[in-house]
Amino acid sequence: MSTVKRAVPAANSYTQTQPFWDGTKERRLMVQRCNQTGKLQWPPRPVSIYTGKRDLSWVDVSGEATLYSWTVTRSAWPGHEDRLPYICAYVRLKEGTRLLCNLLDYKLEELRIGMPVQLTWDSLDEGVPYPAFKPVISGGGGA
């Protein structure tokens, strides 16, 4: 087991992240919605990217997504060599917005833009859950 710390981000009221982290405690993936347009936005912001107004709410999303893009990292900080290569990915949620995330449980040679991925959970220090994604296994609905 790694002794490297995976710090828990501080919830910051300025960027409106507290509801996101509260949701993760219940393993709920939540994103912001502009109440005037109904459109989703990520990452969280104090105002709508569509209207510039503070009329925002938080909504649960399904966790169903497709792989939009990714990058491969072949080095890690000490103690995390078991996670190589490390994949940082953009996924497009079924609900329409994109999230930057970690991709877990993948076979590098099988990654394809547009492939279905699903929400899974990883842990930071102190067991704090955070959302990640993994490929959907064909015919099995997931690993």
Q: What is the structure's pLDDT at 69?
A: 97
Range of the domain at 52: 13-60
Note the pLDDT tens digit of each residue in 3-23: 556 677 766 655 668 899 899
The CATH number linked to 82 is 2.40.50
30 and 70 in a common domain: no
Query: Is 7 within a domain?
Result: no
Whether the model pTM is above 0.85: no
DSSP assignment of 43-108 equals S--SS-TTTSSS-EEEEE---EEEEEEEEEE---STT-GGGPSEEEEEEEETTS-EEEEEE-S--G
Query: Is 134 within a domain?
Result: yes
Note the pLDDT tens digit of each residue in 52-108: 999 999 999 999 999 999 999 877 667 766 767 789 999 999 999 999 999 999 999
The two structure tokens encoding residue 75: 């080095």
